[in-house]
Structure 1
């Protein structure tokens, strides 16, 4: 196993500039990094590191609660796929359960939205300050994500505001993930290899453990840089870029140390139809319904949704296999 010493780094400070040339310069850097690797680090004056620290402190306090207290906010009780995810609830493919727990947060709506199972009110735990601290971080990263969507538009040769009209009610999700201290951990894969379903992901992590699949089919450790976000490309941006950017397959290696990971997954509106956007190129991908894709992929990994499918309570329309995007691993998976 090898490590990538330096991921491409993009400083997004100039996305706030009044100069289009400044913003275009960032877009060119973003385009290069996403085309070459699909994993990069994001820095910039926009990042409020105080909110990062606040989120981490809140997550530490929440996950220190006993299991009974955490299960009172079990994700299977929610109307919009939010809440506590216990160890073993989530599984990619036929892999074994990972020693991790999570709390999932979506855009918070006043009530359920008919026919759109990822939209509705979040299920919040009865912990003073949890909702406030988590939403502060969610809203902060949402603004950074909107700026990055505008940069992607420039990188793809589109009008800078192309995505603005498709980001009115996106089901973008923030996950608070906790990997407890595990003295029995061996140096082997943990969370199964997968691509993210959305457009792109911004990740704040406290320790190494994440690995990416390189274009030669081998795995490499992703370094963690203090004060920076890790970014990777997801399924929908692979489609919209017509394969110019490939969704980055990744996994989490089993590590001994306690680790916290906070990925936020950015998508377009639930009803948006995702399709190739590159002018002058023949489309290499069929159009995809954003919300349908997100929910179908989610339903193939979470135990409570699998049970509903097995019981006939839930029927998926046009599901796509989880292994459909991004480069594939070498046979040795080494």
Structure 2
């Protein structure tokens, strides 16, 4: 801690106890999760049950895809997608002014069949993925997605205990969520000192589970200083998102973060754990407060509105009047420390 009390490092929480049959073991882990969520908004988790074979598989799938020629990758351009999934070229996603993020990505959503009533109703962000015709890509990506999404369910139970709620409180809130797995590739950058990487932002969803193979991630503390969060072998990074900040009326903090100074080739895989699109998010009764700082909003509307303000193909559609921001949409960077600086 600094003299001001601002954090200077990210804690490691071993979550093996969340898989225990003993409630006291799960509660012990939940206390650590709660401390990290309240005081920092970021943590590493060790002791998870995602196998090394799944991790190596998703890494290989990403390498195989990003090695394709640009014209092949653009066959899956997100701007051609009906459900906001697919290839994101450099410059498509803009969080802040100045040089665009020096990265490319492939966005994979929760696989929702085309005949699902939510898809037939035209719910944004939901629907089938358009899978690349790259050998083993889909099977590797889906296997990793399923394992990390299951880890997310386990973590949400831990967060429920940390909030003194029944641990199954959130179990039925993510049946067909707009939860995205991103494969992100940062090429070798000879101008790394000047490259901002991902601009400072908070994540829109409940929380994020991140796998990365190289340094570059930085987290903003209460003083506005950037704290390094390099990879820890065998651990994922977890950070609190906007929706858990709303649920707890700010007790859990959606801490701002960015990626910069990426001099080496880097791959990262964040899975953004969300509730179902139409879930109304508002402060839980224990955190209800009269100030009105956290108004209720639908999680899908919040995610869609942020995408409409960030992805350039959607920004252009809004400017042309082809799409409109949901009613009550918030601007970008309105949660966490970014809202206080």
What TM-score does the superposition give when structure 2 sets the normalisation length?
Answer: 0.92
- Indicate whether 1:109 and 2:112 are aligned: yes
Corresponding position of 2:302: 293
What is the CA deviation profile of residues 121-149 of structure 1, one whole-angstrom value per residue up to 9, with x for unaligned ones?
11111112111110000000010000111
In the alignment, structure 2 segments of 5+ residues that lack a partner are none
Correspondence 1:257 to 2:264: yes
1:149 has 2:152 as partner:
no
Paired residue secondary structure (1:191): coil
SS of 2:182's equivalent in the other structure is strand
The reply to whether residue 313 of structure 1 matches residue 316 of structure 2 is: no
- In 1, the alpha carbon distance for the partners of 2:294 and 2:206 equals 15
> 1:92-134 CA distances to partner (integer Å, 9 max, x unpaired)?
1333212210000001122134231110011111112111110
Do 1:218 and 1:330's aligned partners in 2 also have CA atoms closer than 8 Å?
no
Offset at 1:258? Answer: 0.4
Instruction: Name the one with the larger helix percent.
Output: 2
Please give the secondary structure, in 2, of the residue aligned with 1:178: strand
Q: Name which of 60, 63, 66 aligns with 1:60.
A: 63
Match of 1:328 among 320, 324, 338: 338
Q: Do the aligned partners of 1:211 and 1:219 also contact (CA within 8 Å) in 2?
A: yes
SS at structure 1 position matched to 2:99: coil
| Cα displacement string for residues 189-230 of structure 1 (whole angstroms, at most 9, x for unaligned residues) | 332111000010010001000111001111121121111100
Using the size of structure 1 for normalisation, the TM-score is: 0.94
Provide closer, same or farther for how the CA distance between residues 329 and 224 of structure 1 changes in structure 2, counting only shifts above 3 A.
farther
The CA distance in 1 between the partners of 2:69 and 2:174, in whole Å, is 37
1:125 and 2:132 aligned? yes
CA distance in 2 between partners of 1:230 and 1:113 (Å): 35
Change (3 A) 1:314 1:63: same
Q: For residue 239 of structure 2, what is the aligned residue in structure 1?
A: 232
Matched, 1:189 2:196: yes
Once superposed, what is the RMSD of the aligned Cα atoms?
1.8
CA spacing shift, 1:236–1:45, aligned 2, 3 Å: closer
Deviation (angstroms), 1:186? 1.2
The within-5 A match list for 1:1-334 is 6-111=9-114, 112-186=119-193, 189-279=196-286, 281-282=288-289, 284-317=293-326, 318-328=328-338
> Helix, strand or coil for the counterpart of 2:286?
coil
Q: CA contact under 8 A between 2:197 and 2:258: conserved in structure 1?
A: yes
Q: How many residues align?
A: 329
Q: 1:119 to 1:14 in 2, by over 3 A?
A: same
